[in-house]
Structure 1
Amino acid sequence: MSDREASMDVIQRELTSFARRARQKAAQLHPELSLVAHSMLDHMDKNGSCHAADLAGHFMLDKSTVSRQITMLEAEGMIVRETDPDDHRRQIVKPSEKGLDLLKGANRQRRASFEERFTDWDDTDVAQLAAYLRSYNAADVD
């Protein structure tokens, strides 16, 4: 096995471990806000209101999956639906005040968790990891 192949195996294992740990940590830090709900609320907060199709495209999910998530978020009072002012046949979704409050609380807790985890890392290493993750994730952006 070449060094590159061995590195690819390590990357695959470590990213899988990271994803599992992130999901578990999210449930521990803020049980009211799942990782999926957090991701969707965060996207809506950063980008303003959006259509369900926008969420499906951004997260590379089936529209029916997003529809179920939106219905759940709405039932829990985390989002509101409104008529799209540009096309009255469509609806837009955006975080409610409750959703924004939960999102802000979860973000504070997650930031504190990351700060704790990176206590022994110097600023250069943290910046390098951020750059690598940004570069890795940029490959999925249209």
Structure 2
Amino acid sequence: MSGAEEALDTIQHELTAFARRARATAARMHPELSLVSYTILAHLEDQQGCRATDLAAYYLLDKSTVSRQVAALEQAGLLERRRDPADHRVHVLHLAPRGVELLASARTRRRDTFQERLADWAPEDLARFAAYLVRYNESAATHP
């Protein structure tokens, strides 16, 4: 096995472990917000609202899956549907005030957790790690 193949195997293994750990610790970081709920709310915040079909396309999910998630978030008072001013047939999802608060609280807890985990990293190591994550995610977005 070449060095590149070994590195790719290590990357695959470590990203799988990272994803598993993220799902397992999401509830501990904020008991009211699953990892899926957090990502949907964060996306709505970043986009300043979007349609459920946009969420399905962005996350490569079936519309029914997104519909169930959105319904649960709406029932919990974390998001709300508003009519699109340009097309009144379309509903746009936005964070409700409670969703804004919960997302901010979860974000603070997540930041604190990362700060604890990475406390002994040198600033230049953190900067490189952040840059590599950005680079990886940009590449993943253009090569699904």
Q: If the length of structure 1 is used for normalisation, what is the TM-score? A: 0.96
Instruction: Give CA-to-partner distance per residue, 1:59-88, whole Å, 9 cap, x none.
Output: 121211111110110011110001111111
Give the length in aligned residue pairs.
142
Give the alignment of 1:130-141 within 5 angstroms: 130-141=130-141
Matches within 5 A, 1:87-98: 87-98=87-98
Q: Residue 66 of structure 1 corresponds to which residue in structure 2? A: 66
Indicate the residue corresponding to 1:34 in structure 2. Answer: 34
Deviation at 1:141, TM superposition (A): 2.7
Residue number in structure 1 paired with 2:115: 115
Aligned to 2:81: 81
SS state of the match for residue 61, structure 1? coil
Whole-angstrom distance in 2 between the partners of 1:20 and 1:93: 28
What is the CA-CA distance between 1:5 and the residue it aligns to?
0.8
Q: Does 1:51 align with 2:51?
A: yes
Q: Distance in 2 between matches of 1:131 and 1:60?
A: 25
Q: Distance in 1 between matches of 2:125 and 2:16?
A: 21
Q: Deviations over 1:21-67 (max 9, x none)?
A: 11111111101000000001011111101111111122121211111
Q: Distance in 1 between matches of 2:70 and 2:119?
A: 36
Determine what percentage of the aligned residue pairs are the same residue. 48
SS at match of 2:126: helix
Secondary structure of the equivalent of 1:50?
A: coil
Q: Distance in 2 between matches of 1:44 and 1:97?
A: 13
**Large movers: runs of 4+ above 4 Å:** none
Q: CA RMSD in A?
A: 1.0
Question: TM (normalized to structure 2)?
Answer: 0.95
Gaps of 5+ in 1: none
Aligned equivalents of 2:11, 2:110: Cα separation in 1? 23
